[in-house]
Amino acid sequence: MQVERIEALKQTVAQLLYEAQQQGASAAEAGLSIDEGLSVTARLGVAETIEHHCSQGLGVTVYFGTRKGAASTTDLSPESIKETVSAACSIARYTSEDPYAGLPDASLLATTFADLDLYHPWAPTPDDAIALAVECEEAARTYHVDIRNSEGATVSTNQGMSVLGNSLGFLQARIATRHSLSCSVLAQRGEEMQRDYWYTVARRAQGLEMARDVGVKAAERTLQRLGGRSLRPRQCPVLFSAQVAGSLLNSFVGAISGGALYRKSSFLLDALGKRIFPDFIHIHEQPHLRGALGSANFDSEGVATRHRDLVREGILQDYVLGTYSARKLGLVSTGNAGGVRNLTLTPSAGDFEAMLQMLGTGLLVTELMGQGVKMVTGDYSRGAAGFWVENGVIAYPVEEITIAGNLKEMFKNIVAVGSDVDYRGNVRTGSILLEQMSIAGNH
């Protein structure tokens, strides 16, 4: 059945590309996607919401030489497709020429398509999903007397089909699933209240953590936050837990992405071939990992993805480029239209307990707030919460503080990367220990 649906979607995209040619476009590309799924939330032991969702969308970009126009629709009828192409062509005829616009180089398009093991449908009934959410939330609510309330537990299942095609002859489909279970609860002790959460996500339902374990972890994390204090201003070592360490890599990727580079709005301008991390740092993309959340054979332009090093022995090896930004920089697309895929920071040290021992006395950050990163200068200042650690042992929770530094210096001052890797997203890293940052609080 799914094979037939995918073939029908391919025919729709092929029809659209043919229509663009008939309307005079010199080149065109189109993407079509359909997402379906179920989301159930239970709160205080009963179902709160049950949502079945199904969405679809089609987008087309046409080129008249180096003039570009784009349009989209949710109606896949032949009449709507014709009108959508006409709208895109009308826009293109009146836009300015852009010498960097156009389809990717045909030689860069993907031609081999490995089975990445991304499709594992799960179709629980609403009653089964409710029972799972209730079990998860019940485990959290009954864990300790100080757990007083709940924001609920949510079970979600989703499957998506997409087709990408262009007038260079590229026409490929992708089908994938994504399932998750999350729980958030509130604890109260005296007048103080805290909340926290936990979640699990995987391509296949069997890869999810047990519902009870998710609830218990949410409760434990919430209880650990009770009794939080602020800190006096100081300079000290900082350990980013694996759950927030990925934000440092996201800032790094933003700084070496084509848009920031050609606009000259990055603190890593002209850094290619230069040392920006300690020599033990290895950052690489692994887009073809089977079953991983970021895996893909091609990017959002059809360019083949590949395993490659971004940083080797601390030295920047490559940028993150799509077709347009690559041309603006006089370079070649790296297959990163739509972002990086399974970005991985190789561990250099032991597990979380070992990282606490390496931290010694300092700050463990488990939550970050705000967007205080200036990409042009690298200045970094964000609200944070976590724990004060003494002699490798967590002493007490910390809240209402700000951590600050400069990303250039922060990258150079990485001491170690833990083996406690968080696999729940597209960025895969363990905890990251920095030699020193500035801490400010309202103590």
Which tens digit of pLDDT belongs to each residue from 24-73? 999 999 999 999 999 999 999 999 999 999 999 999 999 999 999 999 99
Q: What angle do CA 55, 56, 60 make, to 5 degrees?
A: 150
Instruction: Give kind and range of the element (H or E) at residue 67.
Output: strand 67-73
* Confidence at 300, pLDDT banded by 50, 70, 90: very high
List the 67-73 sheet strands across, edge first: 67-73, 46-64, 27-43, 147-166, 171-189, 192-202
* Contact predicate 431/245, CB 8 Å: yes
CA distance 273 to 271: 6
Residue that is written with structure tokens 């864990």 in the block: 143
Q: What three-state secondary structure class fits 315?
A: strand
Note the pLDDT of residue 443.
58
Question: Residues for the chain: how many in total?
Answer: 443
Which of 218, 199, 31 lies closest to 138 in space, CA to CA?
Answer: 218
Q: In what order do the strands lie in the sheet with 283-285?
A: 315-316, 308-312, 283-285, 343-345, 427-428
Domains of the chain by residue range: 2-224, 228-443
Q: What percent of the chain has pLDDT over 70?
A: 100
Amino acid at 18: Y
**Predicted confidence (pLDDT) at residue 289 exceeds the cutoff of 80:** yes
pLDDT in tens, 336-357: 999 999 999 999 999 999 999 9
Q: Are 49 and 195 in contact (CB under 8 A)?
A: no
What pLDDT sits at residue 3? 82
The pTM of the full predicted model, rounded to 2 decimals, is 0.95
Report pLDDT for 88. 97
Digit-coded pLDDT (tens) for 385-421:
999 999 999 999 999 999 999 999 999 999 999 999 9
Pair type for strands 46-64 and 147-166: unpaired
b/e string for 215-237 if b means 16 or more Cβ within 10 A? bbbbbebbbbbeebeebeeeebb
Read off the tokens for 137: 């939330």
Whether 283 has a pLDDT exceeding 70, the answer reads yes
Q: Give the H/E segment covering residue 364.
A: strand 362-369
Asked if 59 and 88 count as a contact pair (C-beta separation under 8 A), the reply is: no
Q: Which tokens go with 169?
A: 């002859």
Residue with tokens 């109260």: 188
Kindly report the CATH class assigned to 2-224: alpha beta
Angle at 167 between CA 164 and CA 169, to 5 degrees: 75
Q: How high is the pLDDT of residue 371?
A: 84
Number of CB atoms found within 10 A of residue 214's CB: 26
Helix, strand and coil percent figures for the chain, each rounded to 5: 25, 40, 35
User: What's the DSSP call for residue 362?
Assistant: E
The confidence score (pLDDT) of residue 372 equals 86
Do residues 381 and 392 touch, judged by C-beta distance below 8 A? Answer: no
CA dist 237 → 256, 363, 421 (Å): 26, 6, 20
